[in-house]
Amino acid sequence: MTIEAVINVDLDGPKINRHVYGHFAEHLGRCVYGGFYVGEDSSVPNEGGIRLDVVEALRELDIPNLRWPGGCFADEYHWRDGIGPRPGRPTMVNTHWGGVEENNHFGTHEFMALCELLGAEPYISGNVGSGTVREMSEWVDYLTRDGDSPMARLRKANGREQPWKVRFWGLGNEAWGCGGNMTAVQYAAEALRYGTYCRGNDLYKIAAGANAFDFAWTETLMKQVGHLGCRRVTSTAYHALSVHYYTITGPSWDEKGSATAFDTGEYYRTMVSAARVEELLAGHAAVMDCYDPNRNVGLVLDEWGTWFDVEPGTNPGFLHQQNTLRDALVASVHFDVFHRYADRLVMANIAQTVNVLQAMILTDPDSHAMVLTPTYHVFRMNRGHQDATSLRVDLRGPLPSRPVGDATLTTVSMSASRRDGRLLVSLSNLDADSPADVEIDLRGGTVHELGALILTAAAPGDHNTPRSPSTVAPRPYDGVSVAGGRLRAHLPPHSFVTVSGTL
């Protein structure tokens, strides 16, 4: 069966915010220490302790923003402990992740230096769980205020004369859980209080939103900034709501399954879980539309990705897992959904960038080798969608599907966009065994100078290692063509294909 679709390349959809390709770095395992930060005395090439090969690799993704310092860690982090001369900084115990001691050598100035090296905007999560309004307000001032205020003087004394530009501020994290175990009503009051006193020019404040499908949490927060059926947002204490959603395959949090040793049934259950992100975004967007039909308030999915059992022999609190072609297809499906909800979704942050959960990069603690994961390659192949105009994909018939337990999995996913005179179409075939053929009627423009890349491997469990770093890597693909205004693509089993051309 050939899948037929239509794309009107001259009919603009909503702009895809580049920040949906955002990243997340928590003080967790070897994400910061041993991942991004190796220290100035390391034999690994670094600038101010920041590992340069990691920076170079991430710059290839046009990384738009980086969320820090958590996560759960954010609500026990006190920013003043991470400024000033490093030898004088106090140590702390990371009670959330492995109970390890941290020396606070990676703090505010180091994070801002990392963002400058990456060319990424900082997204800072403040401490609402164990901190104070004053503490977070002063952090905003320390980073962003010019002049001769107390916090500006403190920043200058620590070596930074000019303020930084920090737009994105998270008002806590997972307030329903590790961020304070609050009810929605309790947190809503805290969000208003913290948002009121986090002052500055051009701040974009993000309230800690729901756990997955808790639509009531979203409604509680929306009631504070709008009224049912009203088109005017009545408060600017926060400008967006977050939500967290992880792709889980196993029967429970204690049995999430292996990242690499899985059968076809587990593979399909993973894809069903990943595809539910569309139901998630649709539900939260529908609630928000009731109170904000003009869509002034943004939706931020600032934690997403796969979560499997840790690799054998590693610290359970470090959340270190391998990354396979299966993870790459989870990412490609998410991005197609993100593009379809571009009118409400303003940011998303995969968890996490280095060495933790669905990482872009894995670094070996012994050899210091750096490995680019299959997920990294999806981000790179899709970077042309950043700040592009989304294009609607209209189907002429049903997409192929298969039953998976009580669910039905659609096995082909696609999205498209246009930017700077270029068309980019992303195509995923989730079927583990069968190929798919796609024919797209391109209307409203002519496409030429066609090029394509494919990401696939012998099996969905294939992955990259220091000894085999390119087992799963993109390569040029000749299984696509365009003639008579029709784009044709052959999609092998478990594959991700991007097709680009000049309009």
Which pLDDT score is estimated for 346? 98
Task: Kindly state the average pLDDT of the residues 263-284.
Answer: 98
Residue 487 pairs with which residues in a beta bridge? 440, 482
Both tokens of 96, joined, read 């959330």
68-114 per-position pLDDT tens digit: 999 999 999 999 999 999 999 999 999 999 999 999 999 999 999 99
DSSP result, 300-363: EEEEEEE--PPPTTS-GGG-----BHHHHHHHHHHHHHHHHTTTTEEEEEES-SBSSSS-SEEE
The C-alpha torsion from 287 through 275 and 343 to 120, rounded to 10°, is 120
Quote the percentage of the chain above a pLDDT of 70: 100
Catalytic residue (choose from 138, 190, 278, 303): 303
Which pLDDT score is estimated for 201? 82
Which pLDDT score is estimated for 410? 98
Task: Kindly state the average pLDDT of the residues 368-376.
Answer: 98
CB 412 within 8 A of CB 436: yes
Q: Which amino acid is at 172?
A: G
| Interatomic CA distance for residues 248 and 377, integer angstroms | 22
Task: Kindly state the average pLDDT of the residues 295-316.
Answer: 96
| Residue 303 designated active-site | yes
Catalytic residue (choose from 174, 190, 266, 278): 174
Which domains are present in the chain?
16-388 (3.20.20.80), 391-502 (2.60.40.1180)
pTM of the model: 0.96
Has residue 233 got a pLDDT over 80? no
Which pLDDT score is estimated for 236? 79
| Interatomic CA distance for residues 354 and 371, integer angstroms | 10
| Residue 449 designated active-site | no
CB 340 within 8 A of CB 278: yes
Has residue 474 got a pLDDT over 80? yes
Has residue 450 got a pLDDT over 90? yes
Has residue 229 got a pLDDT over 90? no
The C-alpha torsion from 211 through 292 and 171 to 66, rounded to 10°, is 80
DSSP result, 420-455: TTEEEEEEEE--SS--EEEEEEEESS--EEEEEEEE
23-52 per-position pLDDT tens digit: 999 999 999 999 999 999 999 999 999 999
Both tokens of 272, joined, read 């069903």
Which pLDDT score is estimated for 251? 85
Whole-number mean pLDDT of the chain?
A: 96
